[in-house]
Chains A and B, each alone.
Chain A
Amino acid sequence: MKIALAILAAAALGFPFVFRGPYPQHLAILVMLYALLGSAWNLLGGFAGQVSLGQAIFFGAGAYTSTLLAQHAGLSPWVGMIAGALVAGALALAIGYPCFRLSGHYFAIATIAIGEIAGIAVTNWDFGGGAVGLFLPVGTEGLLSFQFHRSKLGYYYVLAAMLLATLLLSAWLRRGRAGYYWRAIREDQPAARSVGVPALRFKQIAIVLSAALTACAGTFYAQYVLFIDPGSVLPLSLSIQICLVAVLGGVGTVIGPLLGALVLVPLSEATRVLLGGSGRSLDLVVYGLLIMLISVFEPAGIAGIARRLGLTAR
């Protein structure tokens, strides 16, 4: 596990020096972004077993908070990122309180419904730019202003650091008391409760952490693309994509979401590049087929395959 992490970290550090073009670097940024989002989802959906299909709400909260603060108060995106994480955390508490009474499919559908409400509400929210969205002004380049124009290296390393921190946090949590409680809740909530696990509190902790990390990714996205609108940061398809990354990689493992993103993002890009230009959506036909095959033949995800091959310890 540690060796695998070290290899991955070295590969991540060296990647931009081998692949210098903007497109491969963009691809790597997408991989890391989805790995980050998948890891954040995994805290709630994988460790604690609460399947959320509304992660886009938190992503959008991060993107909108930092962007609006930058536009109206001139605040640095870094401050905006913290503020976004706080807003998302508060939203998560508000969502979790009623929804954690639901379980399984009921919880998943409730998060879809809340996600849809958020999407429609922001679309009709004039101050937030409504359907038109918000453009971030192109400002000075640099780490402080969180904008890099001439090369993507700045974005690349900022995101790599964020991802590393998330992975370490998730490994630490998994080993600690929280991880232990979460597993108990996931496997059998009534039983966990009967032996004194404060189930609601630990589910709340999971959703707040998951939301805060997702919001940080949202701020990153806003700074990277410099344009946000409800269609790009709040759609149901994003929530599903996030969940898919974690499921494909291996639910409930630390490295799973990263593996999932490493396979899924290049795969979806490759099918689109190779087959998408035909305009007949053959790429998505293949994509759908692959999702079905994976859920039928390897529900434990890539981490499951790796485990079977003895590449990682449990």
Chain B
Amino acid sequence: MTCELVAQALVSGLLAGFVFALIAAGLSLIFGVMEIVNFAHGEFLMLSMYLSYFLNASLGWDPLVALPLNAVALFLLGVLVYYALIRRVLRAPMLAQIFATFGLSVFLQNLAQFLFRPDFRMVATTMATGRIALGGVFISRPQLVAAIGAVLTTGLLYWLLTRTETGKALLATAEDRQAASLMGIDPDRMFALSWGLGAACVGVAGALLSTFYYVFPQVGGIFALIAFVAVALGGFGSVTGAFLGGIIIGAVESLAGVFVAPAVKNIFVFAIYLVVMLVRPRGLLGKQ
């Protein structure tokens, strides 16, 4: 029984962790390239979930089928936010940058409540339903699909960054802005691209989440906080680090919930992060 319990806790935790990981990867990419923390990351997620919901409710599209549309829509949103807001605070002090994205988060969250009302909404039909039983361990099918989708998307992002010219240019900008621009890379375009890609990641995550999680205007905040910790844990700017951070958080949360007490499971998440901070101030895979 206990063995089954551990296995179940691990499986559930990892499934949740992969989705955290994808959200965190997008956040980390933006930070890595331009050293700005996007406090509105959760609201991007929320908007993507609403997109899935409305496509499903009005046109009957399955969120999984419409997923590329979410990615494209959020990519455009990210680029728009960069040009309309972020570019104007690039040289401002860190606090102005924090509050620019924090203001955006308050704005988007409440705009969503204004437009979409505070109701909890749930995608009605999706092909991913039900569960798979492996011995005594149950795997929720939508969560499994989401986890696989998250891994594939992060893999794609990693490939894009390391194997394509544009990706290499992006990483070069992250490494050294000046040097990159001397080599003919336009940092402005790279910044816009990082916002686009970072937002597209949450776009995909939003579509995946909407198959098993309800959407409401405040839904982003919960996930964003976890993503911040995942990014800080894995190392700001490291996409692989953030991915690792997300998975660790998923597992720790689940195990602590089962074996210690559910009400304090997040204490363990934050505590693990603090311990890592003490040993490696820039996170597990961050540049030390």
Would you give 29 A-B contacts (Cβ < 8 Å), ordered by A?
A101-B281, A102-B277, A105-B31, A105-B236, A106-B236, A106-B282, A108-B98, A109-B37, A109-B228, A113-B270, A113-B274, A120-B264, A124-B263, A236-B225, A243-B95, A280-B113, A281-B114, A287-B106, A288-B105, A288-B108, A288-B109, A289-B107, A291-B99, A292-B103, A292-B104, A295-B92, A296-B85, A296-B100, A299-B89
B109 contacts across to A, CB distance below 8 A = 284, 288
Interface string of A229-242 (1 = CB under 8 A from B): 00000001000100
Q: What is the CB-to-nearest-CB distance from B174 to chain A, in angstroms, rounded to a whole number?
A: 15
| Known A98-B274, A113-B273; contact A51-B98, beta-carbon cutoff 8 A | yes
B105 contacts across to A, CB distance below 8 A = 288
Docked-complex contact A296 and B106, CB < 8 angstroms: no
A287 contacts across to B, CB distance below 8 A = 106, 110
Interface string of A77-120 (1 = CB under 8 A from B): 00000000000000000000011011011101110111011001
Count the B residues whose beta carbon is within 8 Å of the partner chain — how many?
Answer: 46
A121 at the B interface (CB under 8 A): yes
| Known A116-B270, A281-B110; contact A292-B85, beta-carbon cutoff 8 A | yes
Docked-complex contact A121 and B95, CB < 8 angstroms: no
Interface string of A120-133 (1 = CB under 8 A from B): 11011000000000
Interface string of B276-288 (1 = CB under 8 A from A): 0110011000000
Docked-complex contact B263 and A123, CB < 8 angstroms: yes
B108 contacts across to A, CB distance below 8 A = 288
Interface string of A258-287 (1 = CB under 8 A from B): 000000000000000000000011111101
Q: What is the CB-to-nearest-CB distance from B269 to chain A, in angstroms, rounded to a whole number?
A: 9
The residue of chain B having its C-beta at the shortest distance from the C-beta of A109 within the complex is B232
B264 contacts across to A, CB distance below 8 A = 120-121, 124
Most buried by A among B98, B228, B261: B98
Docked-complex contact A284 and B236, CB < 8 angstroms: no
The residue of chain A having its C-beta at the shortest distance from the C-beta of B94 within the complex is A104
The distance in angstroms between the C-alpha atoms of A239 and B99, with both chains bound, is 13
A124 contacts across to B, CB distance below 8 A = 261, 263-264
- A residues with CB within 8 A of B: 45, 51, 98-99, 101-102, 104-106, 108-110, 112-114, 116-117, 120-121, 123-124, 236, 240, 243-244, 247, 251, 280-285, 287-296, 299
Interface string of B80-123 (1 = CB under 8 A from A): 00000100110011111111101111111111011001000000
Cβ contact of A120, chosen from B95, B113, B267, cutoff 8 A: B267
Q: What is the CB-to-nearest-CB distance from A76 to chain B, in angstroms, rounded to a whole number?
A: 34
Q: What is the CB-to-nearest-CB distance from A151 to chain B, in angstroms, rounded to a whole number?
A: 35
Docked-complex contact B85 and A120, CB < 8 angstroms: no
Interface string of B54-88 (1 = CB under 8 A from A): 00000000000000000000000000000001001
Cβ contact of B271, chosen from A98, A104, A117, A294, cutoff 8 A: A117
Give 10 nearest A-B pairs by CB, closest first.
A291-B103, A288-B107, A288-B106, A299-B96, A292-B103, A284-B110, A295-B100, A299-B92, A281-B110, A295-B96
B229 at the A interface (CB under 8 A): yes
The distance in angstroms between the C-alpha atoms of A251 and B99, with both chains bound, is 13
The residue of chain B having its C-beta at the shortest distance from the C-beta of A291 within the complex is B103
Docked-complex contact B267 and A288, CB < 8 angstroms: no
Docked-complex contact A280 and B229, CB < 8 angstroms: no
The distance in angstroms between the C-alpha atoms of A289 and B103, with both chains bound, is 6
The distance in angstroms between the C-alpha atoms of A216 and B281, with both chains bound, is 32
| Known A51-B95, A121-B267, A296-B88; contact A284-B106, beta-carbon cutoff 8 A | yes
Q: What is the CB-to-nearest-CB distance from B212 to chain A, in angstroms, rounded to a whole number?
A: 25
The distance in angstroms between the C-alpha atoms of A98 and B276, with both chains bound, is 11
Docked-complex contact A285 and B110, CB < 8 angstroms: yes
The distance in angstroms between the C-alpha atoms of A99 and B95, with both chains bound, is 18
B266 at the A interface (CB under 8 A): yes
The distance in angstroms between the C-alpha atoms of A280 and B35, with both chains bound, is 34
The residue of chain A having its C-beta at the shortest distance from the C-beta of B86 within the complex is A296
Cβ contact of A247, chosen from B88, B99, B229, B267, cutoff 8 A: B99
B229 contacts across to A, CB distance below 8 A = 109, 113
Given contacts A247-B96, A291-B99, 19 further A-B contacts (CB under 8 A): A98-B277, A105-B35, A105-B37, A109-B37, A109-B228, A112-B228, A113-B270, A120-B267, A123-B263, A124-B264, A244-B99, A285-B107, A288-B105, A292-B103, A294-B99, A294-B103, A295-B97, A296-B88, A299-B95
The distance in angstroms between the C-alpha atoms of A111 and B252, with both chains bound, is 20
Docked-complex contact A290 and B273, CB < 8 angstroms: no
The distance in angstroms between the C-alpha atoms of A281 and B117, with both chains bound, is 10
B107 contacts across to A, CB distance below 8 A = 285, 288-289, 291-292
Most buried by B among A251, A294, A295: A295
The distance in angstroms between the C-alpha atoms of A285 and B111, with both chains bound, is 6
A109 contacts across to B, CB distance below 8 A = 37, 228-229, 232
The distance in angstroms between the C-alpha atoms of A100 and B78, with both chains bound, is 33
Docked-complex contact A288 and B104, CB < 8 angstroms: yes
B98 contacts across to A, CB distance below 8 A = 51, 108
